[in-house]
Structure 1
């Protein structure tokens, strides 16, 4: 069996074991390979490109633009955001992975940096081998929202309704293998609900389907869900983050509703090709951390639907390993394919 396939299956199996409560069989593998050649001269020596795999105005794009100007001021070179939409962000991720100019970065989402190859073994990059993690930019919970057709006034009653409906209950996602899809399958494993999956071409289409009564449940980004919850057209069951935060105010977590093991966040992060010199990665991380701790940038991120998360490169690497293992277990146990 090829080495890559063995590693992919091993990652999935480790995640599946964790979901079942089995002990880990081995230590986590480092995301980044051996260090590249040392930095020569001063970096950056020319403008830095930050590739975003989504159109202008999408939340990952807004996150990248929130940090671009202050980063350029600290680095002494222009930081230019370029939109390369396609394949749920994987088009941009592949270009970043293959870049060799030491001045091409990616503002990538967790799907690109974790489960992409688990869902598509023919993908043109391997998140584990081809990226040097720089640092998280922002995180956000998902909101478990239900339509007016769902009965109940609290999480326990709503989940009981879903259990009683079985496969007659439908949930919508922005596509197979998305975090919303994997999160709902994880929730089904933890709560014994059996809602049927209906994929759509993006979360706005999911909301349209909920309002039309085609599906009754979804895990949605807070910014998209909020207007419909405030209008009373959708109901909020809980958020998937471990604790409440500024994005969702006093909305309760699913953990508070005794839904254990369903913690999940979406996130966006800055990543470089694995060949980026370590000194450049370190300099980038220091600049990014400084930028994320400023009030104007954190406020811009909140408006874009993200909570700023400053941290070192190893924090991002741990998040990549954890999500790959956990969501890989869901992919393996539920037989999910794109």
Structure 2
């Protein structure tokens, strides 16, 4: 009898041990376990905000949790980028632009985050050329650059902030056009830059198509040229190369990133769902209508290459043009 009881006791203990060993697995919750905060460094109505909102709803549906867009404007998007860099869980993501990952540290050595170390790079969400726009009574093409060169530093240009592609792109343009010396006026977001042109505080700016094409169509602005080759985003606007400006190719882009400590499980799930979202024709059309060309698939490798290559380009612009953080 004792032998039987002892055997039963041993079997019972093994059964209890096996049950307890599976308890954590049974109660483990897959990511995400709560709402996701999607931080955007620019105001509502801006092009990064549009990209964020285009993916937020389908991402929420796919993940089964709310994805809340949180606009934290300022410092060319660096305030929002810093919040993402310092996030301590898997439920804070960010939509960033070129400058946050490429030129920010060069221009601001005391930047509170390190673009090279503090992020998990997920994927670009949209890319676009920039359009050089001016006041509606500005001359066209080559005549515009002749007038701008003759004006020297009497003209101003606007951008979404120091270190942005729009800012550094204009500095690159100044190096390509003899006599062009327009003074930089930073704004918090492209809508404010548009107001600056309409109010005649600035004479020109580099702005994404989605923001300015309606103004151009209404005759409130003039499109001078594109910072890339021909683009379906602005099919009626000629490249700047057509006016004799050589070696000038720039794009603006927006990307989804997480903090450096983003878990592999969260990253894998995000990449899977984002790829499906970016391949959805309705969402691609929504991004296109906002002035973005969506990538064919989510790719952290492509984003890493883009950041690396553009960082080198921006370094050359900053060094050659003597761009300072107080501009």
Please say whether Structure 1 and Structure 2 have the same fold, judged by a TM-score greater than 0.5. yes
Structure 2 CA distance for partners of 1:41 and 1:243, relative to 1, 3 Å? farther
1:162 to 141, 144, 148: 148
Alignment check: 8 A CA contact 1:198 1:215 kept:
no
1:54 to 32, 37, 42: 42
- Cross-structure match for 1:78: 66
Write out aligned runs for 1:98-247 (5 A): 98-148=86-136, 150-151=138-139, 153=140, 155-202=141-188, 203-245=190-232, 247=233
Write out aligned runs for 1:254-293 (5 A): 254-293=240-279
Post-superposition shift, 1:279?
Answer: 4.3
Structure 2 CA distance for partners of 1:165 and 1:149, relative to 1, 3 Å? farther
Structure 2 CA distance for partners of 1:280 and 1:255, relative to 1, 3 Å? farther
- Cross-structure match for 1:335: 322
For structure 2, list consecutive stretches of 5 or more residues without a partner in the other structure: 1-27
Alignment check: 8 A CA contact 2:124 2:254 kept:
yes
Q: 2:73 aligns to what SS in structure 1? A: coil
Alpha-carbon separation, structure 2, partners of 1:170 and 1:81: 33
Post-superposition shift, 1:209?
Answer: 4.1
Over residues 210-234 of structure 1, what are the superposed CA-to-partner deviations in whole Å (9 max), with x where a residue is unaligned?
A: 3454433221222332233223343
Q: Which is greater in Rg?
A: 2
Q: 1:261 aligns to what SS in structure 2? A: coil
Which deviates further from its counterpart, 278-287 or 185-194? 278-287
- Cross-structure match for 1:306: 292
Over residues 42-99 of structure 1, what are the superposed CA-to-partner deviations in whole Å (9 max), with x where a residue is unaligned?
A: 3334333221222333322221121122122333433332233332222221111111
Q: Which structure carries more relative contact order (alpha carbon 8 Å, separation 6+)?
A: 1
Post-superposition shift, 1:332?
Answer: 2.1
TM-score by length of 2: 0.81
Alpha-carbon separation, structure 2, partners of 1:317 and 1:179: 17
Structure 2 CA distance for partners of 1:164 and 1:71, relative to 1, 3 Å? same
Which deviates further from its counterpart, 312-321 or 230-239? 230-239
For structure 1, list consecutive stretches of 5 or more residues without a partner in the other structure: 1-39
Alpha-carbon separation, structure 2, partners of 1:80 and 1:209: 30
- The answer to whether structure 1 residue 325 and structure 2 residue 312 are counterparts is yes
Alpha-carbon separation, structure 2, partners of 1:213 and 1:46: 47
What is the aligned residue count? 296
